[in-house]
Amino acid sequence: MASMEYSIQYRRADALERKNYAHWHAVESMPLADLKKLQEEKLVAQMAYLKERSPFYQKKFSDAGISFDEIRTVKDLQKVPFTLKTEIRESLKAKPPFGLHLAADMEDVIQMQASSGTTGSPSYVALTQGDAEMWHEMNARCFFASGIRPGDMSLHGFALAKGFVGGVPITQSMQYMGVIDIPIGADGGADRLLRAAADVRPRVLAAAPNFAVFLGEKAPDILGVEAKTLGIEVVLVGGEPGGGIPAIRQRIEEVWGAKCCEMLGGTDMGVAYWGECEKQSGMHMVGMDYIITELLNPETGEVIPFEDGAEGELIYTAIGREANPLVRFRSGDHVEVLGTKCACGRTGPKVRCIGRTDDMLIIRGANVFPSAIQSIIGDMTPETNGVMRVVADFEGHTSQGALKVIVERGPDRSPGRDKELKKSIETHLRNSLAFKADVRIVEPDTFEKPGAVKVALTLREYPDL
């Protein structure tokens, strides 16, 4: 059959041919020294672009007394001050809709997305055609790494309705790589999603981890069959911690009878650019030709190398981005480097996300992430139900007292042993995370099961229980 020429490409012309490739793109296995060279070439071009086009960075560089021309290497970037989320918000407010950091002409913007934003109005981000393709390409690399292949069908379990990048861009990227996205969305509800899973029998489910568990557990009620009979082989999760929490991942794999891999990213730079390969030993950086990533030790303020065991916050610089390019953006994501080599051949470092700066509490000087607490409580099933909430009923993020943690008892456990359980959890938390907890045990199912919403692990007031 003669192939038709389209002026607009929805699916890459060669998508289906890539099915048996080792990686979606050859750059994923490129030696790091070559990648660095490529990054620095693109960095020089990006600086020249910002010098000409970005009012935001023109001011920022001039305020800092640095010139764009002197930033030529990854190391040189350390001279540039960070870009903070608060600055992005102010920039958007100062010049709606896409801020002072819009560096492309409005007529070249073809798409926009919104991010949830922790307070008030959402944050908006603009994409040119080139930016959109960059997003699709990085997503495709993540999807492919996790075992998704051209020709698959994927049930869309992330929210579709709110303009988040888990919505339309996921659909576009699946299409780009030759996957048929089933566009129901978390907002479509569990009934509709499970019905589609039964009717269409996709190989892939993509959803937030807590929602993937919820959906799987609902299958017997809604369809009269276990989720694991539906033929899902890959559950791709992201958007909140959970995929990296062993108990949650294990539950997803159990209930769906499928392999669970996770991805990590963020709206300011794309959708996903850290993708976990089928070895399931951390998420690889798969977009090194589009993003320069630095690892920052938040305590010392030093940039540290990506070495096994290193921990820090991810700092991103876009290279080759047109509409809303950012330099040294503080992502707020704290990660641990799990490895720099992998049997899959990808050369990007592997990380797991420990938590977000926004969620971090400082309890008597110890940095504590609620997701880390959840991980430990999750490992204590069946004694616990794996469900917990942290009560941060103090000003700000710092407390000198013990941190209040409410934990659900395991469904088959007797309340008579609560005292013992409380003690054992407090000991575990102290030994693993070096902080003092004041644990209260409550009935199973005290807290609402996750629906389409993300789970907030931290409560700012003590609940009425």
Residues making contact with Zn ion (CB under 5 A): 277, 279, 342, 344, 346
Question: Looking at beta carbons only, is 269 or 342 nearer to Zn ion?
Answer: 342
Q: 86, exposed or middle or buried, with CB in 10 Å at 0-12, 13-18, 19+?
A: exposed
Distance CA 188, CA 201 (A): 17
* Residue 182: exposure state from Cβ atoms within 10 A (0-12, 13-18, ≥19): buried
Bridge partners (DSSP) of residue 276 are 283
Tokens of 45: 């071009």
Least distance CB 308 / Zn ion (angstroms)? 14
The position carrying tokens 């809709």 is 97
- In the complex with Zn ion, the residue whose CB is nearer, 111 or 340, is 340
Take residue 291 and report the two structure tokens written for it. Answer: 């993003």
3-state secondary structure of 230: coil
Per-residue tokens: 258: 């499928």
Of 117 and 339, nearer to Zn ion (C-beta) is: 339
| Smallest gap from residue 82 Cβ to Zn ion (A) | 30
Rounded Cα distance between 67 and 372, Å, is: 41
- Token pair listed for 101: 């950091």
- Least Å from the CB of residue 340 to Zn ion: 11
CA 457 to chain centre: 17
Q: Which is nearer to Zn ion, 234 or 406 (CB)?
A: 234
Taking the C-alpha atoms of residue 91 and residue 93, their distance in angstroms, rounded to an integer, is 5
d(CA 26, CA 347): 11
**C-beta of 281: minimal distance to Zn ion in Å?**
7
User: 29 or 116: whose CB is closer to Zn ion?
Assistant: 29
| CA 438 – CA 419 distance, rounded (Å) | 12
127/263 with CB nearer Zn ion: 263
Q: DSSP per residue over 128-145, as a string? A: EHHHHHHHHHHHHHHHHH
**Minimum distance, C-beta of residue 147 to Zn ion, in the bound complex (Å):** 11
CA distance 259 to 190: 21
The least CB distance from residue 11 to Zn ion, in Å, is: 26
Which residue, 142 or 342, has its beta carbon nearer to Zn ion?
342
In the bound complex, what is the minimum distance in angstroms from residue 28's beta carbon to Zn ion?
9
- Angle at Cα 57 formed by Cα 313 and Cα 68, nearest 5°? 95
What phi and psi values does residue 53 have, to the nearest 5 degrees? -120, -15
362: alpha, beta or left? (left if phi > 0; alpha if psi -120 to 50): beta
Comparison of 261 and 392: residue with beta carbon closer to Zn ion: 261
Q: How many CB atoms lie within 10 A of CB 458?
A: 16
Give Cα separations from 246 to 51, 62, 409 (angstroms).
46, 47, 19
CB of 286 to Zn ion, least distance (A): 10
Structure token digits, residue 37: 């060279």
* Phi, psi torsion values for 421, nearest 5 degrees: -65, -45
Q: Which is nearer to Zn ion, 249 or 346 (CB)?
A: 346
Q: Which is nearer to Zn ion, 166 or 282 (CB)?
A: 282
How large is the C-alpha radius of gyration of the chain? 23
CB of 284 to Zn ion, least distance (A): 6
Question: By C-beta, is 60 or 346 nearer to Zn ion?
Answer: 346
CB of 62 to Zn ion, least distance (A): 42
Least Å from the CB of residue 355 to Zn ion: 23
Token pair 């709606």: residue: 96
